Every structure is written in C-alpha cells, then in structure tokens.
Chain A
Amino acid sequence: MRLPDRVTGLFLVGLGAAAAYGGWQLPPVPGQPVGPNVFPLVIGTGLALCGLAIAFGIGRSFEEEEHLIPVEGGQPTPPTGKLYGLRALLPPALLLLYVAIAERLGFILTAAMIVYVTSTALGARWKVALPLALLAPIGIHLIFSKLLRVPLPPGVLPMPW
C-alpha cells in the first residue's frame, strides 16, 4: 500500500480544503467573534498547506530509512501477487462483518468465524485453527460477559452462564 508522496499529498490538500470549507459553513455563535467555525478553518488550511509541501517533496530528505534487521538463515520471501496486498484488508473487513451480523448470529458464532478465518489466513492448519475457533470465543465470552458484565449479543447460541 505504499503510495507515491504526490498522491497522499494531494489527498491531504483535498481533505484540508474540504475541512476548511465545511468549517467555514458552520453557523457562528451570535454576538461572539469566534465560534465552532474557527478551529476547522485553521486546521484545514494547515493540512492543505502540508499536503502541498508533501506533494512537492519538501522535507523528504529528513526521512530515515527503516532499520530492517535481517533474520539469520535468509528470510522466506513472501509470495507476491496482485491480490496479495489485499490480504491486509481482511482484519478490518472481519470487524465490519462482526458489526453487521453479531446481533443476529450471536457473539459465539461470529467470533468463532473471525478466529478461524484470521488464523487460517496467517497460515495455521485446520488442526490448530478449529480448536482455537472453538475455545477462544468461549474464553473471551467468559472474561467479558461473565466477569466484566459486557452485554454481548446472545444470538442463536446463548451461553449457559
């Protein structure tokens, strides 16, 4: 997901301009010189200026190269493909899935699914992933629902406690 500085910089210009415009549109407090509109205006302008500077490569010389520590015996090269980078989006996608279905399906089933998918995506075989998907949700449910009294959705499979 490494994007050129020009792209991120211009995105920030847009974001800053939108924020400044949005802030400017806010109604002022009657009889008061400054209201809720001042701060977004300042922030948005600043952000847009920074975005411009980044897009034109100012300050790039300050960036330090990351200190990569090579592992002994050679690093296993990660498989590269067009879709490989999209794997990174799996965790947030699973969380959004949780938001969408946890209420209906219940915590235990949704959590088991999240655990199984994450575990498999990180290279676990089903012999590891399956028991983990069974035990981890129950453990978390015990801690949060029983001990800390967080109202987790029971859904179709309520826990006996």
Chain B
Amino acid sequence: MLNTLTQAFALITTWEVIVAMLAASVYGLVIGSLPGLSATMATALLVPVTFYLSPIAAIATIVAASTMAIFAGDIPGALLRIPGTPASAAYADEAYAMTRKGEAELALGAGVWFSAVGGIAGTLSLMILAPPLAEIALSFSTFEYFWLAFLGLMCATLVARSSPVKAIASMFIGLLVACIGIENPGGVPRFTFGMTNLFGGIEPIPALVGVFAVAQVMRAMLTPEPPPIPRRRFGSILAGQWKLTKKYNWQMTRGNVIGIIIGVLPGAGADMAAWVSYAMSKRFSKEPEKFGTGHVEGLVEAGASNNASIASGWVPSLLFGIPGDTIAAIAIGVLYMKGLNPGPTLFTEKASSMYAIYLMFIIANIIMIPLGIIMIRLASHVLRAPRSTVMPVIMLCCAVGSFAIGNNIFGVVIVATFGVIGYVMEENGYPVAAMVLGIVMGTMIEQSFVTSLIKSDGSVLPFFERPIAAILAAMAIGALIWPVLVWVWRKLKRAPVPAASAR
C-alpha cells in the first residue's frame, strides 16, 4: 500500500505530468468559462493531444481539464447569467441574483471553494468504492457483464431530461453505430457498404468530437452572440467561505453524496447532479422563499454536487468500462489507447496507476482554488474574446484533431457527419449523451451478449441463474418497465372523474 503510494508519487512528479496538468488546467478554465463551450467539448478536443503523451500525463490532462471546466462554468453564470457549461445552468439565476445584490465575490468564492470540496469528496468516494467493487467484479462472468452494461444503458435513458422513448431510441442509434465494422463475433464486414474506411468501425472519439464540438459550432451559427462581460473589480474571493462551510455543513455533505451517486450512475453527469442538488436544496431548506433572490445555500449544495460527480463518474469507467458520464466516456477511450484497459484487474495489476489517478484528482481540486481565483480576476478580459474568434479555432482543432487520431482523413468525415447527427438529434429532443453511451458500450454489450448466448447454447435461462446476474437482471428489467408504469399511472390519474363517479 505504502509502496504503491510512493510509486504513484513517482509517476506524477515528472515534468511532463506537471506541465501537462498545469496547461490542461488553464485550458479547462478558459474553455469552461466561455459560454457555449462545455466541459465535455474541452475534454474531447484534448484527446488528440493526449495521444502523444505518456499514459499518466494523458490522464492528468483529462482529469485537470474536466475538473476546472466544471467550476469555470460558474463564472459567466454569476457575472452574465449565462452558464459557461450546462452543469452550471441549474444555479446561474441564483448566482447572478447575488451579483446584482453586490455579492459577486461570495457567489464566485462559493463556486470555487465548494467545487474543490465536492471534487475531493468525489475522489474519496472513488478511492473507497472502487477497490472493493473490483474484488466483487473479479468473479463476474459474461452474464453479469451483459446485465451490467444493459443496466448502464437503461440508467442513461431514465435520467435523461427528455422523453424516455427518445432516449432509448438514441441509445439504439448509438448501438447501431457500434455495429459497423468487422469487429463482431463472425468477423465479417457489417454495415460497411463496401467502404474500406468503415471496416475498422466508427472510432468513439471522432464521433464525440463531432457531437459535442461541431454541433456546438453549428448551433452558434444560429444563436445571437452573448453580451460581453462588464468590467469590475473584485474584493477578497475566499472571505467568508469558511463561515459558509460551517453554516451549510449539512447541505454541503448532501450535495457531495448526491453528486457521487449521480456520477456513479452511467450516463448521468455533472449537469444532472447540479439540477437534482439545487432542487433538493430548495425543497429541504429552512428558508425556501429566499431561493431565486440571491441566496447562497443552493449554490453551496449544487456547486459541491457537480464537481463530486466528476470524480465518482470514473468508478464504473475504471471498473467495467461503462462510462459514468460523457467526460468519462472520453476518458475510457484514452484509457484503452494507453493500454490501461478498464476492468477489475486494473486495480491489482496497475495499482500504482490507479493511485496516481486519485492523487491527480486531489491535486487538481487543490490547485483549482488559486488558479480559479486568478481566473475569476481575469474573467472580464478572457470573456471579452468574441465568439467569432473562438469558434474558427475550434473548427480547426476538430479537423486536425480528428485527423491526428488515426492519421486518416476519414476521421474528418466522421466528425462532420456526427456534427450533423448530433445537431439534428439535439434539436428534436433526442439526448445525445444516450447515443454516446451506446457507441462506447456497443462492442462490449454485443460481446458479452453473444458470448453468453453461445455458452448457454442459445437458451435465455442461464442469464438469470447466477445470483448476481439475477439481481442485476431484476434491476435492469425494473428500469425498463419503470417508465411504462409511470406513464400508465399518469394516464389513470388524469382521468379520475369517471373512476370516482363509478364508485
């Protein structure tokens, strides 16, 4: 244990890792604070760069950039009422109301302070949860993996903030995309339409860049430019945060726990955590009437929650290769690229790398406090960059980055195609996160499904015979039936009059 820890320290105290982490932090802060550029997009555009780094440095950039971007989204939320990332949307109104009351320092300070606290809590959950789960997962066979993957996909559709039917359809589209290529049980070219470029299948990373970056540039073409940030001088940022920590200790803890739970659930990430925690905070507050008028309580809880979900999202990713959120989906791609294939054995064979990941999360959350304060003070300068200068550079990064992943120009075609697919889906209420999950998990779910069927000689019964498989199956089927039940219940509730008169 101590030996592994020293090894982990040695892994992260190289110049490459330190420089990569600092650069990625600054990058994450800038991208996160620019409205319309999300944390997922920041991470997706980083991938081609990570290609050329050592495994630990590559993961360091992703950890640092995603952590910083989620916090930095609070800055334009508080100053402009425009959330920098969707994860800050839940409380942008509240933070802006505080700014108008002259409490901008308190709102932004709470953002940086409780983000750091939440991030560290999330990391602790990763450290505590993952190793024992890995012990259990070692005895999993393909049946358990199939149900786990199935459950993961179902979760993603349940928590989507849109119609569950559309979410399931999005997931199927993702799985269909994963069918392309020759990497299937028979090794035959499937859905390749004779194109050699499709034989290798659709790489998840270019697809993600398309869905999250190109689609965003497309949206920017049709939406008006956000107003520039007003110049202002800030007082002390961290003053009064300790008092808040003591006063809202319970709210902070609740935010951490909710964030951790939502992070672990596949497909649900920081934005969901923030919405749920803000709503919880209002529901259980002693003074709910103050919410919406510039009250810091909800900020504390939701700010802690969205950052807690970032680290805990890595739990299912590292253990099973099932992404906890879209950022973790990208991280999985990088892990595979770097030979750190997700799975329970990662925790026994590559224990020092795992400890290095924990340490990097903790360091990222600590350096977020000074870097975040600098960013807040510089915000009025950084946020002055008009969209018409940022978006073209992002376009170039999309083109070059997707080419760099396989040194294949076809990657750019995939990026453009998925830009259109992502844009059209989002416009019509199909959640793209569910599709992303389908693409990332498609091969895994097919493999476990077909291998299980071969093992059971085509019979469905063995899918329910092993105890853990049976539990997982019950949960997955429950998740499948749940929306139907709610729908029926709502139908019944809507027509209570004839029911009452009949009695």
Query: A140 to chain B: which residues have CB within 8 Å?
Result: 393, 396-397, 400
Contact of A95 among B51, B89, B395 (CB under 8 A): B395
Q: How far is the CA of A16 from the CA of B184 in the complex (A)?
A: 19
A78 near B222 with CB under 8 A, answer yes
Whole-angstrom distance from the CB of B175 to the nearest CB of chain A?
Answer: 5
User: A33-B453, A128-B388, A129-B388 given as contacts; is B81 within 8 A of A91 (CB)?
Assistant: no
B409: Cβ under 8 A from any A Cβ: yes
B169 near A39 with CB under 8 A, answer no
Closest B residue by C-beta to A111: B396
A115 near B393 with CB under 8 A, answer yes
Q: How far is the CA of A54 from the CA of B176 in the complex (A)?
A: 18
A12: Cβ under 8 A from any B Cβ: yes
A interface size (C-beta, 8 A): 89
Closest B residue by C-beta to A39: B446
B360: Cβ under 8 A from any A Cβ: no
A161: Cβ under 8 A from any B Cβ: no
Whole-angstrom distance from the CB of B201 to the nearest CB of chain A?
Answer: 13
Contact of B224 among A8, A76, A120 (CB under 8 A): A76
Query: A1 to chain B: which residues have CB within 8 Å?
Result: 423-424, 427-428
Contact with A along B218-236 (1 / 0, CB 8 A): 1111111111000000000
A150 near B404 with CB under 8 A, answer yes
B168 near A2 with CB under 8 A, answer no
A67: Cβ under 8 A from any B Cβ: yes
Q: How far is the CA of A147 from the CA of B92 in the complex (A)?
A: 39
B382: Cβ under 8 A from any A Cβ: no
Query: A22 to chain B: which residues have CB within 8 Å?
Result: 190-191
B335: Cβ under 8 A from any A Cβ: no
B218 near A118 with CB under 8 A, answer no
B318: Cβ under 8 A from any A Cβ: no
Whole-angstrom distance from the CB of B43 to the nearest CB of chain A?
Answer: 17
Q: How far is the CA of A60 from the CA of B179 in the complex (A)?
A: 29
Range of interface residues on B (Cβ < 8 Å) = 35 or more
B224 near A122 with CB under 8 A, answer no
User: Chain A contact residues: over half helix, strand or loop, or mixed?
Assistant: helix
B186 near A122 with CB under 8 A, answer no
Query: A54 to chain B: which residues have CB within 8 Å?
Result: 163, 165-166, 169
**Contact residues of A between 112 and 156, Cβ < 8 Å to B:** 114-116, 118-124, 128-129, 132-133, 136-137, 140, 144, 147-152
Query: A67 to chain B: which residues have CB within 8 Å?
Result: 89
Contact of A71 among B82, B163, B187 (CB under 8 A): B82
A119 near B214 with CB under 8 A, answer no
Contact of B188 among A26, A124, A133, A144 (CB under 8 A): A26
B416: Cβ under 8 A from any A Cβ: yes
B93: Cβ under 8 A from any A Cβ: yes
Residues of B within 8 A of A (CB): 48-49, 51-52, 81-83, 89, 92-93, 161-166, 168-169, 172-173, 175-176, 179, 184-188, 190-191, 214, 217-227, 386-389, 391-393, 395-400, 403-404, 407, 409, 412-413, 415-417, 419-420, 423-424, 427-430, 446, 449-450, 453-454, 457-458, 483, 486-487, 490
9 pairs of A and B residues whose beta carbons are closest in the complex: A124-B388, A36-B186, A59-B165, A122-B388, A50-B169, A95-B416, A92-B416, A47-B172, A115-B392
Given contacts A54-B163, A61-B487, A149-B52, 11 further A-B contacts (CB under 8 A): A29-B186, A36-B185, A40-B176, A40-B191, A69-B93, A92-B420, A119-B388, A119-B391, A120-B388, A150-B400, A150-B403
